[in-house]
């Protein structure tokens, strides 16, 4: 897997394709990385060879997948409410559609005035 500017272009293409189906989702950038928002609330981004997804802690414990780990922060504790999904094949992110939907619903709860 190759990365460009610190992120996988192939992962970006698949995640963008998945999230294009949700009109409440807006694509943008976070520190130069591809990112997705509901209103002003960030809920997903592509970083290195994975995808960071924001989920409530209660939903995180339900994920029993070896490709899902706490989102790392170099030299610090993992990010609260964030998981890192690291599939070796970009097309495997299509299997995470329900995870993205949970993240969209959660972001909408955190965004005043957002409707889903």
Structural domains of the chain sorted by starting position, each given as residue range(s) with its CATH number in brackets: 11-110 (3.90.1150)
Query: What is the full per-residue pLDDT of the chain (116 aa) written as tens digits?
Result: 555 567 899 999 999 999 999 999 999 998 889 999 999 999 999 988 899 999 987 666 656 677 777 776 655 666 778 888 999 999 999 999 999 999 999 999 998 765 54
Whole-angstrom distance, CA of residue 60 vs CA of residue 67: 13
H or E element that contains 41: strand 41-47
Whole-angstrom distance, CA of residue 13 vs CA of residue 24: 19
For residues 88, 10, 28 and 59, what is the CA-based torsion angle, rounded to 10 degrees?
A: -20
pTM to 2 decimals?
0.84
């Amino acid at each position: 897997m190759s990365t460009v500017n610190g992120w996988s272009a192939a992962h970006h293409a698949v995640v963008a394709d998945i999230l294009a189906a949700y009109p409440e989702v807006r694509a943008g950038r976070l520190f130069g990385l591809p990112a997705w928002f509901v209103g002003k609330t960030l809920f997903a981004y592509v970083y290195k060879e994975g995808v960071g997804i924001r989920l409530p802690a209660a939903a995180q414990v339900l994920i029993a997948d070896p490709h899902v780990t706490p989102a790392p922060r170099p030299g610090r504790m993992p990010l609260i409410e964030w998981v890192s999904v690291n599939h070796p094949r970009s097309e495997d992110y299509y299997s995470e559609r329900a995870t993205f939907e949970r993240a969209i619903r959660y972001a909408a709860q955190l965004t005043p005035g957002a409707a889903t």
